[in-house]
Chains A and B, each alone.
Chain A
Amino acid sequence: MFEWLHDLSSWALFDIFGLAKESHLGEAVHFFIYDTIKIFILLILIIYLVTILRSYFPVERARAYISGKHKITGHILAALFGVITPFCSCSAIPLFLGFLQARIPLGVTFSYLISAPLSDAVVIALLLSLFGWKIALLYVGVGLLIAIVAGLIIGTMNLEKEILIEVKPVDVVSFNEEKITFSNRAKEAWEYTEDIFKKIYLYVIVGVGIGAFIHGYVPADFISKYAGGDAWYAPIIGVAMGIPMYSSAAGILPLVEVLTQKGMLLGTALSFMMAVVALSLPEAMILKRVLSLKLIAIFFGVVGFGILLVGYLFNIIL
């Protein structure tokens, strides 16, 4: 898909600027230029298309749809809606309360809250173009499974009393969608894409920069020996590293790409990425306004455990 870009950047760097092709510097710079442009093109395209698609599935509609569904169905639906509806961690609280207000059970609400950042449609599309459909599909499947099972577990623990503010249920959950023309959706999606791009392009450059350095200077067996390999504790280190980091998955993916090329097992790399997006300290701070520490700890514990399992699973089967 991107051979032309690879050739173009080779031509520019090695033939025009005369950089030595086989040198560490040449390798690193070439990788940096090529990968930055590639990720930028992918990001803009993917975010734009996904945003247009998403404008047809507002959270309000998802909420109206999930409310009143049978329990297990509710968990599955909530996890699926997590993939297609837009989610921003700054509206995590209104979203959370809004779900409870519609009498959607706590466990089902968590299924949504876990699935939304974890199985983000932009991330899935990026995975698809960087790693192929098998890995993308596996990631979605496992992400949904974590969201469903974690929600089910939280649902059985009777934690309703850990919600710190009183939620008054509403009787009728209605949703009247405004009529929006396609050209409006397209225009809005473009504005949103610009907005997101401005927010994450620096992360991408830094991520690819670190990646380029590793690519050019760090021998492959170094990473497989120390940071990856089949050491049993590797996924644990991945998750522990991921939680305090706050970046969108789109920003962290370039790094994941390089780490795996250099011998980190994919499971470890994905656990790291999932921890970055699904378990962020800033989100915990936001949720602390409405949930007890105990519930947040359980939430992090259950999801963290699920992510670890994914790491081990991917490491074993891939």
Chain B
Amino acid sequence: MKIEILGTGCAKCKTLEAVVKEAVAKSGKFVQIEKVDDLMEIMKYQVVSTPGLVIDNKVVSTRRVLSVEEVLSLINERL
């Protein structure tokens, strides 16, 4: 599984990245985390309002900073 955090470097994007790292650590699963700040890459996903969250090439959330629990359940749903 691969989780990507899309964001150009605003405060919310950094918060989301930290949340994802914590959720992955809690899940105990092997998950690849990647922070995407290249605009072209972000645009490929058609995300207009950052931060965006992408799991296995699928956009699961935009604009929001999810909670650790929400990210955890997103991970568990897909494994």
Instruction: Answer yes or no: are A and B bound together in one complex.
Output: yes
Task: Tell whether A97 is near chain B: CB-to-CB under 8 Å.
Answer: yes
Task: Tell whether A95 is near chain B: CB-to-CB under 8 Å.
Answer: yes
A56 to B50, CA, bound (A): 17
Q: Point out the residues of chain A lying under 8 angstroms from B9, CB to CB.
A: 90
Interface size class of chain A, counting residues whose CB lies under 8 Å from the partner chain:
20 to 34
Q: Point out the residues of chain B lying under 8 angstroms from A88, CB to CB.
A: 10, 49
Task: Tell whether B79 is near chain A: CB-to-CB under 8 Å.
Answer: no
A295 to B3, CA, bound (A): 36
For window 15-49 of chain A, which residues contact chain B by CB distance below 8 Å? none
B34-58 toward A: CB 8 Å interface, digit per residue (1/0)?
0000011011001111100000000
Is A91 a contact of B49 with CB atoms below 8 Å? Answer: yes
Task: Tell whether A218 is near chain B: CB-to-CB under 8 Å.
Answer: no
Is A97 a contact of B39 with CB atoms below 8 Å? Answer: yes
Task: Tell whether A98 is near chain B: CB-to-CB under 8 Å.
Answer: yes
For window 55-71 of chain B, which residues contact chain A by CB distance below 8 Å? 60-64
Is A90 a contact of B47 with CB atoms below 8 Å? Answer: no
Q: Which residues of A contact B (CB under 8 A)?
A: 58-60, 63, 86, 88, 90-91, 93-95, 97-99, 101, 165, 167-168, 170, 173-174, 178, 188, 289-290
Q: Which residues of B contact A (CB under 8 A)?
A: 8-12, 39-40, 42-43, 46-50, 60-64
